[in-house]
């Protein structure tokens, strides 16, 4: 399914061929990438658990995002709220509006299921642009503090690493897309 198309940028459901291209591109830019992540999202999409989207910029996969109808884990899991997972734009395609449009579509989809959407964002500098973008879009911390490996960190916790597992959960109120 195509969610957006302006002839330069297309946002559509992720396809299996995207998984290899995105994995190879992420490895080439120095990221810790694994095709298993994409294959899992494709499997979950086929099962109706999520929407996994690919941004195609000038004919090439440039970014992706997944929207789980009910969150997987973390501060908002079990609350019936959609979760945005694995949002990224490849470095060579940044600053072209791709991330903004991916998030617009993700929030529109989430708004069909609830009036709030949530996500976790990493805390190291590799997530700096995402942190700024989420703040500009109106996402706010949920108040549960920092989480590590899917558990809230206790005050003065010393057994954590500033890696991709150290996250802060954020949420945003949405306008429902179903008229409610």
Question: Has residue 178 been placed in a domain?
Answer: no
Cα→Cα distances 176→103, 147, 170, Å: 15, 28, 18
pLDDT value of residue 102: 97
pLDDT value of residue 176: 61
Domain count within the chain: 1
- Which residue range is the domain that position 143 belongs to? 2-173
CB atoms within 10 A of CB 65: 25
Question: Has residue 35 been placed in a domain?
Answer: yes
Q: Give the pLDDT of the chain (180 residues) as one tens digit per residue.
A: 999 999 899 999 999 999 999 999 999 998 888 999 999 999 999 999 999 999 999 999 999 999 999 988 888 888 899 999 999 999 999 999 999 999 999 999 999 999 999 999 999 998 998 999 999 999 999 999 999 998 999 899 888 999 989 999 999 999 765 555
Question: Has residue 179 been placed in a domain?
Answer: no
**DSSP string over the chain:** -EEEE-SSEEEEE--HHHHHHHHHHHHHTT----HHHHHHHHHHHHTTSEEEEEEEETTEEEEEEEEESS--SSTTTTSS--EEEEEEE-GGG-SSSHHHHHHHHHHHHHTTT-SEEEEEEE-SGGGHHHHHHHHHTT-EEEEEEEEETTEEPPTT--S--SSTTEEEEEEEE---SS--
Terminal-to-terminal C-alpha distance of the chain = 24
Question: Has residue 49 been placed in a domain?
Answer: yes
Pairing relationship of beta strands 116-122 and 83-89 according to DSSP bridges = parallel
Sheet of 140-148, strands arranged across: 2-5, 9-13, 50-57, 60-68, 83-89, 116-122, 166-173, 140-148, 151-152
Q: How many residues does the chain have?
A: 180
pLDDT value of residue 71: 85
- The CATH number of the domain where 10 resides is what? 3.40.630.30
Question: Has residue 180 been placed in a domain?
Answer: no
pLDDT value of residue 73: 82
pLDDT value of residue 179: 54
Cα–Cα distance, 6 to 56 (Å, whole number): 11
Question: Has residue 54 been placed in a domain?
Answer: yes
With 0-12 / 13-18 / 19 or more C-beta atoms within 10 angstroms meaning exposed / middle / buried, residue 91 is middle
Q: What would the pLDDT profile of 101-152 be if each residue is shown by its tens digit?
A: 999 999 999 999 999 999 999 999 989 989 999 999 999 999 999 999 989 9
Q: Tokens in use for 64?
A: 């992706």
């Amino acid at each position: 399914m195509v969610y957006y198309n302006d002839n330069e940028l297309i946002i559509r459901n992720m396809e299996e061929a995207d998984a290899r291209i995105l994995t190879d591109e992420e490895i080439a830019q120095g990221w810790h990438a694994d095709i298993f992540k994409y294959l899992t999202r494709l499997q979950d999409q086929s099962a109706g658990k999520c929407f996994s989207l690919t941004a195609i910029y000038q004919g090439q996969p440039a970014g992706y995002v997944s929207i789980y109808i009910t969150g997987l884990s973390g501060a908002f899991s079990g609350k019936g709220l959609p979760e945005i997972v694995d949002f990224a734009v490849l470095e060579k395609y940044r600053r072209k509006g791709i991330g903004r449009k991916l998030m617009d579509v993700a929030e529109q989809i989430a708004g069909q299921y609830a009036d709030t959407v949530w996500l976790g964002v990493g805390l190291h500098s590799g997530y700096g642009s995402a942190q700024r973008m989420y703040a500009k879009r109106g996402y706010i911390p949920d108040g549960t503090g920092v989480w590590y490996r899917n558990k809230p960190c206790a005050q003065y916790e010393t057994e954590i690493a500033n890696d991709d597992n150290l996250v802060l959960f954020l949420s945003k109120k949405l306008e429902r897309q179903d008229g409610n």
